[in-house]
Structure 1
Amino acid sequence: MAYEHTKYLANEIGQRIAGSENERLAEQYIFNQFKQMGFETEVQEFTYVRRGAEFKSSNVIAYKPGKSKQQIIVGAHYDSVSVGKGVDDNASGVGVMLETAKVLEKIKTPYSIVFIAFGAEEVGLQGSNYYASKMTEAEIANTISMINLDSLAVGDHMYVHGSAGEDGFLRDQALAIAAKKKIDLQINPGLNPAYPAGTTGDWSDHAPFKRLGIPYAYFEATNWEIGEQDGYDQTADHGGIWHTSNDTLEFIEATYPGRIQKHLTAYSTVLTDLLKFANKTSTAK
């Protein structure tokens, strides 16, 4: 399912530049998928200013009630840049989110889940910043973690990052799930002192929630052992794929046969089990 959603967003819709008609088409596709699953779904419209011009975008929000009213936010941005087709960055994250939502459709999870497809991430995290800015103090206190899915398809290694200390509990639980299922999920090894082991930078949709004091987990595929050791160079052979003309299904599948299917399956498996068994009993808010 994740692969088919990724393929549709990238090949049927194509580039999904923030504020464009194609971004709107992607919003409608994602909204319809969540509605078909029976989730309470809404579109959160917002505007932003860039280079003196005003643009419109939106977040798609789907709510799945759980055993507890405390919630986990799962997010992935659906816009892309103006080169390539945004397969890796970030149709892949949306695909994994939609597959996981479908698998969990009839399963009672420990926590309620808010699935969010963020608009306009590529132009300054506009969607996630807007959503976070509208959260009330009660909603912030009620959110035990935010899980971010960004660029999962093509990097040499699969990673999960997280908050420091005890707030990294979902990262640690994801690692345990992966180990049990023999999935090679790693952490940033901390070779670059600017990014301690197990953490990452504030360049994706987890950042606005981190600033609110909400713990995060962040799934991505890249290679933290090459280049500047900051995760930007995703592959040893071709460097970064995101934000380049190589971010297409044709290039990824020809150059790395089977990698996208392996990654999407692995991430969907880990994320599904993580949401089924998430546990923060010792530090619950």
Structure 2
Amino acid sequence: MGVGHASVGFGLVIVLLWKTMGAAMDRELLIGHSMDLAAVEKALRRHVQVLTVEIGERSVLEPSGHARAARYIAETLQSAGLRVWEEPYPYGPITVANILAETGPENARRRYILGAHYDSLVGTVGADDNASAVAVLLETARTLQALEPTLPVSVQFAAFALEEPPAYGTRSMGSRVRARHAKRVGEHIDGMICLEMVGYTCREPGCQRYPFPLGFMNYPSTGDFIGIVGNFASRFLVRAMERSFKKNPSLPVITLTVPFNGWLIPTVRLSDHAPFWDAGFPAVMVTDSAFYRNPHYHTVHDTMDTLDFAFMARLVQSLVIFLGEPMV
């Protein structure tokens, strides 16, 4: 082939690649930005209403409420068209279960877990902690399932049975059960995304606090952003999510990568991502920063009237953009 023909051929390849990449980017942005956020917000309100008002306390010491929450999650995922199954395990005299569902092609090159615990602290209805996260999980699952024929990744949705005390930090945490099993059977997991308290915002300067020494850094003093926290081994996942989330400018995002699996700042380990860190899987926590922002944390005042459902709907949008986009 002569030089002229080679140049034309090379140029044609570049054009085709550009068009392919552009189409993929257009598709991913269309997926997120064409969402009916008002409808998503309405659905989020309904989920939180059921979990916190109709069911109420979902602690392991209130087994009837805990079981009703599990059924609601399973039925909601099933009604969205997902295949749902349980991962049961004993806790004292009762049996609890992680509720699992999956969407996306079986031969997908990447596989993620999107997880949130559905129990609440004893004596509370846990609207932000953690009904907000369960609601976001359910709406993300419903949206991605509708895209399933063209979804480029496989996503497992995991509603963890137990995270709050008295199970916290024990082998009975639902995320520990899930991570332990995944490691034992050699599951391929490119990233675990933990949703932990994702519904509270505050906009008065100084309302947002940080653990030491992050308070000395140039982080925002108002709490209208979503945080993404990963360990050093998860830094590529953190960066990929940050790039993707920034395509949705309506939801500011702040990221943090910590060394030594977070042990230097122990409060960044206080959720369901930490068992996956400890098992060697890439994992991040997506959060409103919990008690560093929300004054109702672990109190009876953590009710649905304190939540920002528009903020939560934008988080669903950002998650769909990330999980619905081409490989990163």
TM over 0.5: yes
Give the equivalent residue in structure 2 for 1:109.
151
Give the equivalent residue in structure 2 for 1:226.
none
Give the equivalent residue in structure 2 for 1:274.
322
Distance 1:87 1:56 in 2: 24
Give the equivalent residue in structure 2 for 1:168.
235
Q: Which structure's residues are more often strand, by fraction?
A: 1
State which of 112, 124, 127 in structure 1 corresponds to 2:168. 124
Larger radius of gyration: 2
Distance 1:10 1:135, change over 3 A: same
Residue identity in the other structure for 1:211: D
Distance 2:192 2:316 in 1: 16
Distance 1:44 1:35, change over 3 A: same
Give the equivalent residue in structure 1 for 2:134.
94
* TM-superposed deviation, 1:138: 5.3
Alignment of 1:137-148 (within 5 A): 137=184, 139-140=186-187, 142-148=188-194
Partner secondary structure for residue 95 of structure 2: strand
CA contact (8 A) 2:231 2:283 kept: yes
* TM-superposed deviation, 1:137: 4.9
Q: Which structure's residues are more often helix, by fraction?
A: 2
Alignment of 1:26 onto 2:69:
yes
State which of 260, 276, 282 in structure 2 corresponds to 1:215. 282
TM-score norm. by structure 1 comes to 0.80
Distance 2:228 2:326 in 1: 15
Residue identity in the other structure for 1:243: H
Count of matched residue pairs:
251
Deviations 1:248-279 (A, max 9, x none): 123x1xxxxxx511321121111111111263
Deviations 1:179-222 (A, max 9, x none): 222121112498x9934xxx972221111111111111211102
Alignment of 1:179-194 (within 5 A): 179-182=246-249, 183-188=251-256, 194=264
Give the equivalent residue in structure 2 for 1:65.
104
Residue identity in the other structure for 2:130: N
Partner secondary structure for residue 32 of structure 1: helix
Give the equivalent residue in structure 1 for 2:85.
42
CA contact (8 A) 1:159 1:185 kept: yes
Partner secondary structure for residue 130 of structure 2: helix
CA contact (8 A) 2:230 2:256 kept: no
Please tell me the root mean square deviation across aligned C-alpha atoms, in Å: 2.4
Residue identity in the other structure for 2:84: T
CA contact (8 A) 1:3 1:92 kept: no
Distance 1:172 1:278, change over 3 A: farther
CA contact (8 A) 2:129 2:197 kept: yes
Gap regions ≥5 residues in structure 1: 223-230, 253-258, 281-285
CA contact (8 A) 1:16 1:79 kept: yes
Gap regions ≥5 residues in structure 2: 1-42, 203-222
Residue identity in the other structure for 1:6: V
Distance 1:2 1:148 in 2: 18
Distance 1:211 1:278, change over 3 A: farther
Distance 2:238 2:326 in 1: 10
Distance 2:247 2:71 in 1: 37
Q: State the 4+ residue runs in structure 1 displaced beyond 4 angstroms.
A: none
* TM-superposed deviation, 1:130: 1.2
Give the equivalent residue in structure 2 for 1:233.
292
CA contact (8 A) 1:162 1:200 kept: no
Give the equivalent residue in structure 1 for 2:200.
154
Distance 1:278 1:88, change over 3 A: farther
* TM-superposed deviation, 1:70: 3.9
Alignment of 1:249 onto 2:291:
no
TM-score norm. by structure 2 comes to 0.70
* TM-superposed deviation, 1:62: 0.3
